[in-house]
Amino acid sequence: MDSTNLPEHVRVLVVGAGFGGLAMAIKLDEAGERDFLVIERGPDVGGTWRDNTYPGAACDVPSQLYSYSFAPNPKWSRSFSPQPEIQAYIQEVAERSGTLDRFVFETNMDEAVWDEESHHWRVRTSAGEITAEVLVSAAGALSDPKAPDIEGFDSFEGEVFHSARWNHDHDLAGKRVAIIGTGASSIQIVPEIAPVVGHLDVYQRTAPWVIPRNDRDYTRLEKLAFKHVPKIQSVYRRAIYWGREMYVPAFTRQPKLALPAKKMALANIRKGISDPELRAKVTPDYQIGCKRILISNTWYPALDRDNVELVTGGITKVTPSGIVTKDGTERDVDVIIVATGFHTTDLPIAGQITGRGGVRLADHFAEHGMQAYKGTTVNGYPNLFFVVGPNTGLGHSSMVFMIESQADYITDAVSHLKTHGVVSAEPKPEIQKAFTDDLQKRMQRTVWSAGGCASWYLDDHGRNVTLWPRATFTFRRLLSSFDAESYELVANDDVRVQSVPRATDITSNDNPANVADHDKEEATA
CA dihedral sign, ordered 58, 61, 65, 70: negative
- Per residue in 468-480, pLDDT tens? 999 999 999 999 9
Whole-number pLDDT of residue 512: 35
- Per residue in 103-115, pLDDT tens? 999 999 999 999 9
Whole-number pLDDT of residue 138: 97
Task: Specify burial of residue 341 (Cβ count, 10 A radius: 0-12, 13-18, 19+).
Answer: buried
Whole-number pLDDT of residue 145: 82
CA–CA separation, 455 vs 290, rounded Å?
Answer: 8
- Per residue in 5-19, pLDDT tens? 899 999 999 999 999
User: Is 448 within 8 Å of 464 (Cβ atoms)?
Assistant: yes
Whole-number pLDDT of residue 4: 67
> Model confidence at 497, in pLDDT bands (50, 70, 90)?
low
Q: Whose CA is closest to 205, among 313, 287, 289?
A: 313
Q: Is a pLDDT exceeding 70 seen at residue 156?
A: yes
Instruction: Assign residue 128 a region (left: φ > 0; alpha: ψ between -120 and 50; beta: otherwise).
Output: left
Give the H/E segment covering residue 100: none
Whole-number pLDDT of residue 200: 98
- Residue 148 vs residue 276, higher pLDDT: 276
Q: Is a pLDDT exceeding 80 seen at residue 499?
A: no
User: Is 125 within 8 Å of 109 (Cβ atoms)?
Assistant: yes
Whole-number pLDDT of residue 498: 52
Q: Is a pLDDT exceeding 90 seen at residue 349?
A: yes
Whole-number pLDDT of residue 494: 63
Whole-number pLDDT of residue 463: 85
Whole-number pLDDT of residue 85: 97
Instruction: Quote the crossing angle between the two packed helices 220-228 and 230-245, to the nearest 10°.
Output: 110
CA–CA separation, 321 vs 156, rounded Å?
Answer: 6
- What secondary structure does DSSP assign to 7-34, as a single string? -SEEEEEEE--SHHHHHHHHHHHHTT--
Question: What DSSP state is assigned to residue 63?
Answer: T
Biggest alpha carbon–alpha carbon distance for the chain: 74
What is the pLDDT of the chain when averaged over all its residues?
A: 91
User: Is 323 within 8 Å of 315 (Cβ atoms)?
Assistant: yes
> Model confidence at 513, in pLDDT bands (50, 70, 90)?
very low
Q: Is a pLDDT exceeding 50 seen at residue 500?
A: no
Q: Is a pLDDT exceeding 80 seen at residue 234?
A: yes
Q: Is a pLDDT exceeding 60 seen at residue 514?
A: no
**Bridge-based pairing state of the strands 9-15 and 330-332:** unpaired
CA–CA separation, 400 vs 384, rounded Å?
Answer: 21
Whole-number pLDDT of residue 3: 63
Burial 472-490 (b: 16+ CB within 10 A, else e): bbbbbebbeebbbbbbbbb
Whole-number pLDDT of residue 52: 94
CA–CA separation, 131 vs 510, rounded Å?
Answer: 35
**Helix ranges (DSSP H) in 253-326:** 259-272, 276-282, 299-303
- Per residue in 294-332, pLDDT tens? 999 999 999 999 999 999 989 999 999 999 999 999 999
Over residues 484-491, the mean pLDDT reads: 96
Q: Whose CA is closest to 211, among 262, 246, 248?
A: 262
Over residues 419-435, the mean pLDDT reads: 97
Q: Is a pLDDT exceeding 60 seen at residue 340?
A: yes
Whole-number pLDDT of residue 183: 92
Give the rounded percent of residues in the chain with a pLDDT score beyond 70: 93
CA–CA separation, 298 vs 280, rounded Å?
Answer: 18
Question: What DSSP state is assigned to residue 141?
Answer: S
CA–CA separation, 208 vs 337, rounded Å?
Answer: 18
Give the rounded percent of residues in the chain with a pLDDT score beyond 90: 82
Question: What DSSP state is assigned to residue 56?
Answer: T
Instruction: Name the least confident of 240-249, 254-263, 509-518.
Output: 509-518
Question: What DSSP state is assigned to residue 310?
Answer: E
CA–CA separation, 43 vs 21, rounded Å?
Answer: 14
The domains found in the chain, sorted by start residue, are 3-144+343-523 (3.50.50.60), 153-208+250-338 (3.50.50.60)
Over residues 159-182, the mean pLDDT reads: 96
CA–CA separation, 223 vs 216, rounded Å?
Answer: 13
Model-level pTM?
0.91
Q: Whose CA is closest to 470, among 512, 417, 414?
A: 512
CA–CA separation, 185 vs 58, rounded Å?
Answer: 9
Q: Whose CA is closest to 521, among 289, 245, 251, 257?
A: 245
CA–CA separation, 310 vs 202, rounded Å?
Answer: 5
CA–CA separation, 187 vs 283, rounded Å?
Answer: 15
- Residue 88 vs residue 460, higher pLDDT: 88
Whole-number pLDDT of residue 452: 76
